[in-house]
Structure 1
Amino acid sequence: MPYVEDFVINSICKTAMGTQLHEEDSNFGKMYKEGIYKLGEYAVYRTQRIWMHPYIIFKFTSVGRKLLNICKILSSFRDRVIEKRRNLKNNSKTNFNEELNINENENVHSNGKKKMALLDLLLKAEKDGVIDKEGIGEEVDTFLFG
């Protein structure tokens, strides 16, 4: 199953986010996957112990500190994916297509329009003032975490 799980993260990044994970990103993606599993384990651990329900207590426990560290890893992966795509979009169209190994003849068209990745739509909405940086992060978290 590890191969399938790695493939899923790579597929989500390539299709929904429009970015490819290179070797260093792939290792970071594995940390992201492991972080999601640990997040689930710690959530169950916390719900089974009523004294850890208040955050003020939980954050001082070893599990609380580990959970905070995992959240930082998950956030940094998300931010890395967003910044990578933002930087690609800011480059010229030629460099952007070359980075993604896109051939104009291979793009999927629907009703005569080229389909955009979810992250492209979010970045366009940010440019139009419809969504802010935090909103983009939340939407990307939803897709990556799901």
Structure 2
Amino acid sequence: MLTQIAAGTIVIVVSLFIHGMGIALAVDGLNRFFSQLSHRQPPLRRLQIVFGGIMLILLLNTICVYIWAAAFEALGVVGDWETAVYFSLVCYTTLGFGDILGAPEWRLLSGFAATNGMIAFGISTAFLIELMRRVHFVER
């Protein structure tokens, strides 16, 4: 059990570090971008900014899913890469189909992946809300 906890903790830390760094870099870039604006952007430009933020969130969460998939495959939780990605995605999104179960000696990892996903989606939501606020209410 301690091995599962240690492995899960390491993967969560790596995953959230990458996710957090991506968000931090995006926030820094957006702060510089918005500080240079002196007026509202046209609707198409606002759409482009929001779409870029959404694509960033999708990219960061996809990277996290692949990190979990790599861990699942490396630890022998599932049999092959495709199954590892599928199992990772189902766990990370807390969908929990249950059609594929990991190896019993590693079953705690699915809960760690779900916890990681909930935290990452919370961070992602906060980022998108702030992005929408900034895009639609640029201070003059």
Instruction: Name the TM-score class by shorter chain.
Output: 0.3 to 0.5
What TM-score comes out, normalization by structure 1 length?
A: 0.36
What TM-score comes out, normalization by structure 2 length?
A: 0.37
RCO higher in 1 or 2 (8 Å CA, sep ≥ 6)?
2
Q: Is the helix fraction higher in 1 or 2? A: 2
